[in-house]
């Protein structure tokens, strides 16, 4: 298959780009794909921590670009999933250490070995974001159901389209179904209505993700985890499968279920 | 190009008038007329025009040539000729063209005069609908933009602006005339940017962060409108911007 280079970006910081990259990367690798996750957040690297690979870093992305080491010397194999590799960011350098052309060349060489290259973009719309975008074929936008995150996502979608990377896909992260039901949080329809791009998936608010990320562990070990299932479905959609959205609401009354069946049949 | 054109199109209260220079050679006039009409594309198609020839002498062949160019080649309709020259008058009479006097404005379209019968058996059919009328004098041209404006994007128009798409929060539209949005307006729209106080802003879903018309500014009340009433229009009334349901009047 033709390899795909996808940048995961958001505009706003703290919406879960890095966590999303780690989990989609893991899910694709568990499906048997060879995956490289690239941390393009130079100077503020985090992807290694979430994957629990921090103490294995010897060389990084800037070393590869400057020719200090070979690409495969910098790639770190994930400790749990054999098909997953991390190219870490440099922590002691800044975004200015890299040019968009160099990122393009790097992505090009990663294509030779990997089915998927997922780039973790830094927050913001400046140089770091431009670098992350440079080598990508397409983009995934991550937002949380907050007005400010949606606003920044809208801005980023405009920039991705202007860079001729096609229309990006959307992931809504940390949706709290209880708050949505109470009308205290934007729901998925509001967000999709504003951003008017295709929805790739919704990740529910899940304390297990926070715990796992802090420990550098995987949520995929837990079969009952809704968020793990949500990530798996996103990975399958990236693979081109037509998978329904995960039902996040597990407190259905009988009547509620009946209504759902009726609307499915009619609609 | 330093010379003034020998042909001028003028919008008057009585309609469009084609003013022909009195001095320049007939060849120049024909060349300028063709260029002017070609430059304006479909702009004047279907328009009723009066030919103002001043004191210029034109014979029957020449007048026929001018009329043929204007009517048959470019789809305008000559409603009359204004002239002080006796020779031109008789040429017009010979061609059965209505002569317009200063104190008698051009007759209206119902009394159109057939002039310059085409030399071909059947008159050439214009490639465009002849019902298109020109932009009346004093009105702005209209621009249609088919896209969604996202946060951080800005668009400026020197005329009226029609957007087929949404204008999201953080995006800005500026137009000298009206702004019409076939979609949701969630960002900022500035109509009548050059001071046109009768400019309006219309959107299928009017939910802006801010509206500006001419020198007036209005901001959203801040509360989320749950039941959007459908298309709404904003305009200036009693010196302030008001919003009303579209189609009420």
Range of the domain at B211: 142-245
pLDDT digits (tens, 9 = 90+) for B15-25: 788 888 888 88
Distance of CA A53 to the CA centre of its chain: 18
Mean pLDDT for A59-66 is 95
Mean pLDDT for B237-244 is 93
Torsion angles phi and psi, residue B82, rounded to 5: -110, 120
Considering the four listed CATH numbers 3.40.630.30, 3.40.30.10, 3.40.50.300, 3.40.718.10, the one that applies to the domain covering A4-266 is: 3.40.50.300
Torsion of CA A142, A148, A152, A155, to 10 degrees: 130
Identify which of B152, B169, B186 has the shortest CB distance to residue A158. Answer: B152
CB within 8 Å: A155 and B166: no
Identify which of B150, B169, B186 has the shortest CB distance to residue A158. Answer: B150
Give chain B's mean pLDDT.
81
User: Which residues of chain A from 183 to 212 reach within 8 Å of chain B, CB to CB?
Assistant: 194, 196
pLDDT band at A219 (very low <50, low <70, confident <90, very high): confident
Residue with tokens 């084609």: B18
DSSP category for residue B68: H
Our CA-based measurement puts residue A189 at a distance from the nearest CA of chain B, in whole angstroms, of 14
Q: Which of A79-83, A121-125, B129-133 has the highest mean pLDDT?
A: A121-125
pLDDT(A173) > 70 = yes
pLDDT digits (tens, 9 = 90+) for B61-120: 888 888 888 887 777 888 888 888 888 888 888 888 888 876 544 444 444 444 544 455
CB within 8 Å: A152 and B151: yes
Cα–Cα dist B162/B143, whole Å: 6
Paired tokens of A208: 């297990």
pLDDT at B139: 80
Contact between residue A233 and residue A242 where contact means Cβ atoms under 8 Å apart:
no
pLDDT at B37: 81
DSSP codes joined into one string, B18-63: EEE-SSS-HHHHHHHHHHHHHHTTTTTTT-EEEEEEET----HHHH
Q: Report the CATH number that the domain containing residue B189 is assigned in CATH.
A: 2.160.20.70
Residue in A closest to B151 by C-alpha: A155
**Helix H or strand E encompassing A208:** helix A207-215
- Indicate the domain borders of chain A: 4-266
Paired tokens of A94: 């800044």
CA distances from A175 to A60, A180, A184, B164 (A): 34, 8, 11, 31
Q: Count how many domains chain B has.
A: 2
DSSP codes joined into one string, A247-263: -------HHHHHHHHHH
pLDDT at A88: 97
Look at residue B187 and tell me if it is in a domain.
yes
Q: How many CB atoms lie within 10 A of CB A67?
A: 7
* Residues β-bridged to residue B48: B77
pLDDT digits (tens, 9 = 90+) for A67-112: 999 999 999 999 889 999 999 999 999 999 999 999 999 999 999 9
CB within 8 Å: A158 and B153: yes
ipTM over 0.90: no
A105 three-class SS = helix
Look at residue B128 and tell me if it is in a domain.
no
Contact between residue A208 and residue A222 where contact means Cβ atoms under 8 Å apart:
yes
Torsion angles phi and psi, residue A38, rounded to 5: -115, 125
pLDDT at B122: 54
């Amino acid at each position: 298959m033709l390899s795909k280079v996808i940048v995961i970006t958001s505009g706003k910081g703290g919406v879960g780009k890095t966590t999303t990259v780690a989990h989609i990367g893991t899910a694709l690798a568990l499906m048997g794909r060879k995956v490289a996750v690239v941390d393009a957040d130079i100077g503020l690297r985090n992807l290694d921590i979430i994957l629990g690979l921090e103490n294995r870093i010897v060389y990084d992305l800037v070393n590869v670009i400057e020719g200090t080491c070979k690409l495969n010397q910098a790639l770190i194999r994930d400790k749990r999933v054999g098909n997953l590799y991390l190219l870490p960011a440099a922590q002691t350098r800044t975004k200015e250490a890299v040019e968009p052309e160099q990122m393009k060349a790097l992505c090009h060489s990663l294509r030779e070995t990997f089915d998927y290259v997922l780039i973790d973009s830094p927050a913001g719309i400046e140089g770091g974001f431009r670098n992350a975008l440079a080598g990508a074929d397409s983009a995934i936008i991550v937002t949380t159901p907050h007005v400010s995150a949606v606003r920044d996502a809208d801005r980023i979608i405009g920039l991705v389209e202007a860079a001729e990377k096609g229309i990006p896909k959307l992931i809504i992260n940390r949706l709290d179904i209880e708050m949505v039901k109470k009308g205290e949080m934007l729901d998925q329809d509001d967000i999709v209505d504003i951003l008017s791009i295709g929805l790739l998936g919704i990740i529910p608010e899940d304390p297990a993700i926070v715990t796992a990320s802090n420990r550098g562990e995987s949520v995929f070990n837990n079969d009952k985890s809704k968020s793990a299932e949500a990530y798996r479905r996103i990975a399958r959609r990236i693979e081109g499968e037509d998978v329904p959205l995960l039902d996040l609401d597990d407190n259905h009354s009988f009547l509620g279920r009946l209504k759902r069946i009726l609307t499915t049949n009619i609609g | 190009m330093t010379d003034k054109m020998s042909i001028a199109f003028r919008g008057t209260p009585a309609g469009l008038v084609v003013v022909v220079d009195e001095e320049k050679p007939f060849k120049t006039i024909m060349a300028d007329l063709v260029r002017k009409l070609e430059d304006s594309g479909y702009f004047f198609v279907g328009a009723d025009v009066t030919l103002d020839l001043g004191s210029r002498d034109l014979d029957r062949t020449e007048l026929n040539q001018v009329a043929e160019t204007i009517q048959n080649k470019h789809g305008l309709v000559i409603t009359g000729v204004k002239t002080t020259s006796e020779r031109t008058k008789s040429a017009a009479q010979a061609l059965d063209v209505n002569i317009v006097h200063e104190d008698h404005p051009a007759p209206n379209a119902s009394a159109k005069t057939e002039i310059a019968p085409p030399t071909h058996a059947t008159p050439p059919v214009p490639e465009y609908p002849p019902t298109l009328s020109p932009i009346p004098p004093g009105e702005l041209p209209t621009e249609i933009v088919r896209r969604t404006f996202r946060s951080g994007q800005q668009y400026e128009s020197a005329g009226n602006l029609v957007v087929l798409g949404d204008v999201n929060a953080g995006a800005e539209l500026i137009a000298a005339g009206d702004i019409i949005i076939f979609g949701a307006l969630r960002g900022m729209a500035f109509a009548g940017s050059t001071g046109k106080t009768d400019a309006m802003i219309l959107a299928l879903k009017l939910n802006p962060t801010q509206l500006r018309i001419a020198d007036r500014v209005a901001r959203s009340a801040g509360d989320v409108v749950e039941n959007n009433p459908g298309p709404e229009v904003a305009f200036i009334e009693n010196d302030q911007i008001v919003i009303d349901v579209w189609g009420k009047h």
